[in-house]
Structure 1
Amino acid sequence: MPAIPAYPHDIWTDDVLLDPHPHYRALRELGPVVWLEAHQMYAVPRYAEARAVLRAGDTFCSGQGVGLNDVINGIGAGTTLMSDGKLHDHLRSVIGPGLTPRALRSIRTSVRQLATELVGRLVAQGSFDAVADLARVLPLTVVPDLVGWPAGGREHLLAWAGATFDLLGPLNSRAEHAIPQAQEMMEFAARTAAEGNIQSGGLGDAILDAARRGELPPSQVPPLIIDYLAPSLDTTISAIGSALWLLATNPDQWAALKTDPTLIPNAFNETVRLESPIRAFSRVATTDTELDGYGVPAEARLIVLYASANRDEQVFDRPDDFDVSRNNAAAHLGFGYGAHGCAGQGLARLEGHAVLQALVDQVEAIEPGRPVRALNNVISAWDSLPVTVHPTRQTVVANA
């Protein structure tokens, strides 16, 4: 078998996280599997091999952790994110019913109404921060309610969720600084579960009921709640913020979306492809195997670079361009693939589509200000995105 090429650069420095795609392109050019010298792990930067790893759960497992350090992989052991086979299927069966398309239909009208009202208030302002005032607001309203998270613990959710994702990366300074906040979130979830302080009817209540029936050990309740709550916030916030940025900086694509709003689902997929909310998770090889003719030894940890795979030139034409009518935008790996495909992606789409529809209905043009990128080991997102919007004539008349 050919020797696996090596890459010497640390792809988790601040500079790289702020502009990772030249490095991802270099990794794709090196081969389907690349040894990352700075991290002592393999990287899978191309689409075909990333998809193959995600599909082959028996060969490339999640049960030894999907993070890039032993601390988080120990904390997350036994969650849906970090389990395989029958255990994973069982855990998904506990939370799955509350996330099916049928279950989400019950909140579709309210989510759309929330998005419409929120965008209406911001259009009346004219200028606002598309992250702080829009992208964060809808998920922080919808997701905690769906989970049944207590009202008194919501003010810390963004910081806690961000810390969880920092800790899923390599054990660098960002991850180390995140440990206390991640512990705070776990301790709060444990107290909440022990006290039964979860609103009835939500996903958290379903998890507690499963524990009461003996289908889950009580110790699994807090990590399972967090396992859904944290990803459902940050990934959706990232996608909505990125959609605003891409539409503001590509006025031709905004015009295309205004002309044909049926493209909204495709535009959301294209956003997730181009600006993948999750940079990477890892898998561990359970046996000696190979990827495209390159040998991978048993117990090797492979970093699946979603953000690189989603810009693979061999799969996506003009991969760095934003195209709301791209015919294979839905092929992205931004929500994972296979058994570990994101359980909450239906909710993320519901929220994202609702925001885009409200913008299309009420906004004529979007002018971007100077944005600021967020720095996080795993989540790719904007920290701040000033915009000025110009209302449609119908909106102006309605608000007169």
Structure 2
Amino acid sequence: MPTRTRTDIPVYRPDLYSAAAIRDTYPHYARLRELGPVVWLTKHKVHALPRYAECKAVLLDDETFISGDGVALNPLANRMGQGTTLYSDGADHDRRRSQVAHRLTPRALRPMTTAVDEQAAQVVEAALARRAVDGVEMAMALPLSVVPDLVGWPEEGREHLLRWAGAAFNGQGPINRQAVRTLPSALGMMRYARRVVRERSVLEGSMGHDLLCAADEGKIPPAECATMMMDYLSPSLDTTISAIASALHLFATHPEQWRLLKEDPGRIPNAVNEVVRYDSPVRAFTRVAARDTTIAGTPIPKGSRLLVLYGSANRDALEWEDPDTFDIRRDAARQLGFGQGTHGCAGQGLARLETSAMLRALVTRVDRIELTGTPEWALNNIIHRYERLPLKLIPA
């Protein structure tokens, strides 16, 4: 049972990263929120933030709560992640982000809309032809056809991308069975990315090509090209796959919400927000306190590591009415699934574009989405997504 420390910080002993907790996360989040705004996780020796207000405040205060000391739960990943946008602060972060962020603005992505819609339509048509499908395979198809080209990843090696990306995220949690099992794949991705940069085999005109040109001009160190390519490739794949698969599951299990969406496709942008609120693709990342501070009256000494629980914050009853109810009519725009502030997800525009395209293709072609078996959650320390999602699509 939870207890309290001498400093009156509630303590939680269960392992949030055990296989059982990954498969059934939300009861843990609920217990953490009941304990208070700051909870000490004895297993991982970190202050957890399970409620919305504190998570948002920490994400918006990037001078007090920094990312440069790493956002992972283990020192190995926090060393290996140096040189990435995710693991940097201030001017260093701005310099790295500025090299690629211009490609991910709504204006820059707008010309892609028609092509992405066409690809989404092809994915749905192919699924309808088969009737019985794995929703995760459906969810993978669109990001795998869009993201590698945008980043500039060569055709060779693409067959490994999902395995590599999942491994990279697994390594951001504690060093547990999942992380150790996938470490060789994470290292394999790094080796291959360095080879791509060394051989300059990125696609012409891509984000990767921009990075090589920036290195040639002395704007970024050449060694950062590989890490920055990975910085955008992995999140752009796994988080979007998570969101699309969750949308398929949620609309299969909430047919009344599916009817609402079909009756008014104008709800699609907010439906994407509600999907991300309800099933946040990223479970948690950490920050480090750069100075002595307090959170909700709790003293936080300098150097303390804090676990920002996005998935818990997005189910906080202090912020959301009926938070465990999936409702595309709610105003879910303030969900934290894409982060907030300086480190808000640079690729969220692309994730929204792809997820919206899939929903547009579905609402015009599919009458019902039905579960045909028991879904399985992927065992990943960071990414909250399905591993298997047996579905049947009933044509309109």
Q: Match of 1:35, SS?
A: strand
Which residue in the other structure is 2:214 paired with?
210
Whole-Å separation in 2 of the counterparts to 1:2 and 1:152: 55
Give the CA deviation at 1:294.
Answer: 0.7
Q: Match of 1:278, SS?
A: coil
Does residue 169 of structure 2 align to residue 154 of structure 1?
A: no
Does residue 72 of structure 2 align to residue 63 of structure 1?
A: no
Which residue in the other structure is 2:356 paired with?
353
Does residue 305 of structure 2 align to residue 301 of structure 1?
A: yes
Match 1:223 to one of 205, 220, 227: 227
Whole-Å separation in 1 of the counterparts to 2:123 and 2:45: 46
Which residue in the other structure is 2:29 paired with?
24
* Identical counterparts, % of pairs: 52
Give the CA deviation at 1:96.
Answer: 0.7
Match 1:335 to one of 325, 333, 338: 338
Which residue in the other structure is 1:130 paired with?
135
Whole-Å separation in 1 of the counterparts to 2:368 and 2:380: 30
Which residue in the other structure is 1:179 paired with?
183
Q: What TM-score, normalized by structure 2, do the two folds share?
A: 0.97
Whole-Å separation in 2 of the counterparts to 1:298 and 1:75: 23
Does residue 260 of structure 2 align to residue 253 of structure 1?
A: no
For structure 2, which runs of at least 5 residues remain unmatched after alignment? 1-5
8 Å Cα contact 1:310-1:334 kept in structure 2 = yes
Letter of the 2:56 partner, please give it: R
Q: Match of 2:299, SS?
A: strand
Which residue in the other structure is 2:108 paired with?
103
Q: Match of 2:294, SS?
A: strand
Does residue 16 of structure 2 align to residue 11 of structure 1?
A: yes
Which residue in the other structure is 2:55 paired with?
50
Give the CA deviation at 1:78.
Answer: 2.2
Give the CA deviation at 1:2.
Answer: 6.1
Letter of the 1:61 partner, please give it: I
Q: What TM-score, normalized by structure 1, do the two folds share?
A: 0.96
Whole-Å separation in 1 of the counterparts to 2:182 and 2:82: 18
For structure 1, which runs of at least 5 residues remain unmatched after alignment? 393-400
Whole-Å separation in 1 of the counterparts to 2:329 and 2:371: 22
Does residue 368 of structure 2 align to residue 369 of structure 1?
A: no
Which residue in the other structure is 1:278 paired with?
282
Which residue in the other structure is 1:396 paired with?
none
Whole-Å separation in 1 of the counterparts to 2:116 and 2:338: 21
Does residue 200 of structure 2 align to residue 190 of structure 1?
A: no
Moved over 3 A (4+): none
Whole-Å separation in 1 of the counterparts to 2:389 and 2:45: 35
Does residue 204 of structure 2 align to residue 200 of structure 1?
A: yes
Whole-Å separation in 1 of the counterparts to 2:329 and 2:121: 24
Give the CA deviation at 1:178.
Answer: 1.9
Q: Match of 1:331, SS?
A: coil
Whole-Å separation in 2 of the counterparts to 1:123 and 1:188: 36
Q: Match of 2:333, SS?
A: helix
Whole-Å separation in 2 of the counterparts to 1:217 and 1:44: 35
Whole-Å separation in 2 of the counterparts to 1:223 and 1:180: 17
Does residue 82 of structure 2 align to residue 77 of structure 1?
A: yes
Whole-Å separation in 1 of the counterparts to 2:197 and 2:341: 30
Match 1:236 to one of 236, 240, 247: 240
What per-residue deviation string (whole Å, max 9, x for no partner) do you get for residues 327-361 of structure 1? 2x111100000000000000000000000000000
Whole-Å separation in 2 of the counterparts to 1:169 and 1:209: 33
Q: Match of 1:10, SS?
A: coil
Give the CA deviation at 1:179.
Answer: 1.7
What per-residue deviation string (whole Å, max 9, x for no partner) do you get for residues 235-283 of structure 1? 0000000000000000000010011110011111100001000000000
Letter of the 1:94 partner, please give it: Q
RMSD: 0.9
Q: Match of 1:325, SS?
A: coil
Letter of the 1:333 partner, please give it: L
8 Å Cα contact 1:63-1:78 kept in structure 2 = no
Which residue in the other structure is 1:86 paired with?
91
Q: Match of 2:156, SS?
A: helix
Whole-Å separation in 2 of the counterparts to 1:106 and 1:366: 30
Does residue 45 of structure 2 align to residue 40 of structure 1?
A: yes
What per-residue deviation string (whole Å, max 9, x for no partner) do you get for residues 108-148 of structure 1? 1100000012111211221111111x100100110001111
Which residue in the other structure is 2:393 paired with?
389
Whole-Å separation in 2 of the counterparts to 1:153 and 1:225: 14
8 Å Cα contact 1:275-1:307 kept in structure 2 = yes
Q: Match of 1:318, SS?
A: coil
Which residue in the other structure is 2:3 paired with?
none
Q: Match of 2:201, SS?
A: coil
Whole-Å separation in 2 of the counterparts to 1:79 and 1:114: 31
8 Å Cα contact 1:165-1:377 kept in structure 2 = yes
Match 1:166 to one of 170, 178, 187: 170
Give the CA deviation at 1:101.
Answer: 1.0
